[in-house]
Every structure is written in structure tokens, then in C-alpha cells.
Chain A
Amino acid sequence: KQEVTQIPAALSVPEGENLVLNCSFTDSAIYNLQWFRQDPGKGLTSLLLIQSSQREQTSGRLNASLDKSSGRSTLYIAASQPGDSATYLCAVIAGAGSYQLTFGKGTKLSVIP
């Protein structure tokens, strides 16, 4: 059974700092991995999707890497801003014909002005 873990559960950084969020998964046979952002009381916004054959994806100040063999992904946020404050969720779709996303519990990020 696939399990996704995100560490740390919460993180507080001063504005302008670069930071890394971690995600690990127990079964390396994944199809793809997605990073989402969730604001309080809101839905999820897809940030980046990495296919299992890819090593990384970039969008603006965000860079996500994937090391499938070790079961790890990182989300790097450059030059953090107060507007980046949110909960960041990592989710994987398993291989072998699965369609469902398996989520971690998220990292709650606070960027202090």
C-alpha cells in the first residue's frame, strides 16, 4: 500500500529565504507525482507534475525534483514571499493502471514579512 510522508509538518521562514519541502513515498513504482498548494478553506491548486521518467520540473520560482528509486521528491521555492504562505501537498499516482492520487498530509508554510 502506497504511503506518502511530508516533512516537516510546518515551516516558518523569513521573506526572501529559499526553502525546500520534502516528500517521500514507500512504493517507487509510481506513474507521476504532483505538488499542490492549498489555501485555508479553499481547494487545491496544481503547481507541478513530474512524470516518472522525468527528474525535475520548473515553474517560475518553483522547482520540483524526483528521485524515483529512493522514493523522494523535493519542492524548492526560491526567494519566498508572504503570498507563498499555504499548505503544500505532495501526491502520487501509483503505477499498474491506478488513477487515484495518494496524498501526504502536507507542509504548512508561513513566510514572515
Chain B
Amino acid sequence: GENVEQHPSTLSVQEGDSAVIKCTYSDSASNYFPWYKQELGKRPQLIIDIRSNVGEKKDQRIAVTLNKTAKHFSLHITETQPEDSAVYFCAASTGNTGKLIFGQGTTLQVKP
């Protein structure tokens, strides 16, 4: 079955710097890759997603890139702010079942 590996497990950056989180997946049939942000004690919330027919997608300070050949995708956060501090999860899905397989999560700390 699908397996998603996420790195790093923790990431600490200075406010204003960029942060990059990387994920690899095993099932070449996967075609939907969402990213979720989970603040302490809250629910995971979708922040951005990408489908296999595009290589990059941006939404203000966040962007996701996808390399289907290498089977990896990344989340990029620019001009980080303290409110970006949270746990970020990547996930992968074949898209025709709705079933998501999540990575292990990355705890991002943005120091003011």
C-alpha cells in the first residue's frame, strides 16, 4: 500500500526566513497531495493541495511543488511569521477513493 515519508520531523527558523518540508510517496498511482496545518490542540486544516497534472501551486506565502518522476513533493513557506508555528502534515491519495495516507508530521517553530 501507499507509504508517505516526511522530513524533517522538526524545523526551527527565524521569523522572515523560509521553511521547506519534504515528502516522498511510494504509490506511483497517487495523484492528489494535500498539506494540512495543525495548531496545538486544534484540528488539522487544509492549507494547500496539488494534483498530479501540475508541478507547482502558490497561495500567497505558501507554495507546493511536485516531482512525479521522483515521487516527492514539498511545501515552501516564505517570509515566515510566528503564527506559522504548528505541525504540518503532508498526505497522498490516488484521488478516486478519497483515502489519504499521511506523513508523520513536521513541527515548525518560527522564532520572533
Do these two chains really belong together in a complex?
no
Residues of A within 8 A of B (CB): none
